């Protein structure tokens, strides 16, 4: 996926099912990358940033803004539902 803008910022939210490599850059603004607890190898300076989400799958996101901020957020996976307790009855021993 590639997103480019000449005049304005970019805000991108990556769904919990997405994995891959993110590259973000701006000529006049700031880059902010949030991995949602799923990121590795985050490197950000004022105008450029990269991160890998969930082991850097085959997907790639490239975001470029000439005049605005770039914000990329990887949404955290939904927590697993708690296990439902189960009970089994054991018949009484017979003589």
- 95 residues of the chain, pLDDT tens digit each: 898 999 889 999 988 888 899 999 999 999 999 888 888 788 888 889 989 888 666 899 999 999 999 999 988 876 666 666 655 555 666 66
63 occurs within a structural domain? yes
90 occurs within a structural domain? no
87 occurs within a structural domain? no
12 occurs within a structural domain? no
81 occurs within a structural domain? no
Burial of 58 (0-12, 13-18, 19+ CB in 10 A): exposed
Instruction: Determine the pLDDT at residue 65.
Output: 93
93 occurs within a structural domain? no
- Specify the number of domains making up the chain: 1
30 occurs within a structural domain? yes
Query: pTM of the predicted model, to two decimals?
Result: 0.72
Domain that holds residue 65: 2-7+17-74
- Choose among 82, 78, 71, 51: nearest CA to 5: 71
91 contacts 51 by C-beta, under 8 angstroms: no
For residue 64, count other CB atoms closer than 10 A to its CB: 16
31 contacts 54 by C-beta, under 8 angstroms: no
């Amino acid at each position: 996926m590639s997103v480019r803008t000449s005049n304005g910022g970019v805000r991108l939210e990556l769904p919990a099912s997405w994995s891959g490599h993110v590259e973000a850059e701006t000529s006049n603004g700031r880059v902010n990358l949030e991995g949602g607890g799923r990121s590795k190898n985050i490197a950000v300076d004022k105008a450029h940033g990269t991160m890998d989400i969930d082991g850097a799958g085959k997907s790639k996101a490239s975001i470029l803004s000439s005049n605005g901020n770039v914000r990329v957020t990887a949404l955290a996976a939904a927590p697993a539902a708690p296990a439902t307790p189960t009970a089994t009855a054991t018949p009484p021993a017979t003589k």
